[in-house]
A = this chain, B = another copy of it.
Amino acid sequence: MPHAHLHLDPKVREEARRRLLSAKGHLEGVLRMLEDEGVYCVDVLKQLKAVQGALDRVGEMVLRAHLRDHVATAHERGDVEEIVEELMEALKYR
């Protein structure tokens, strides 16, 4: 791993885990919807979007911690180019 010594803030890691568990529960709810023959398409689209919103918010938490703890100190560490390029890659639209 290129940044063996750079880790996600433990508090953020725990909060991200907690939120991701709830997003997983929500995803399981969509799976149950899809077992119902009578399910209506737009209801599925809305629930999928809610799960994606929850994943967005987890992403935002992790991004904020990364900017604060690792990007903001990159110049002092001397790995600015690498840190910036890998982050630009991760931020690209799906």
Residues of the B chain whose Cβ atoms lie less than 8 Å from the Cβ of A28: 24
Given A38-B4, A80-B68 in contact, is the A20-B13 Cβ separation under 8 Å? no
- Per DSSP, chain A at the interface is helix
Given A27-B27, A65-B41 in contact, is the A49-B94 Cβ separation under 8 Å? yes
B-contact bits for A64-90, CB 8 A (1 contact / 0 none): 111111111111100011011011111
Residues of the B chain whose Cβ atoms lie less than 8 Å from the Cβ of A38: 4, 7
Residues of A whose CB lies within 8 Å of any CB of B are 1, 3-4, 6-8, 10, 13, 16-17, 20-21, 23-24, 27-28, 30-31, 34-35, 37-42, 44-46, 48-49, 51-53, 55-56, 58-60, 62-76, 80-81, 83-84, 86-94
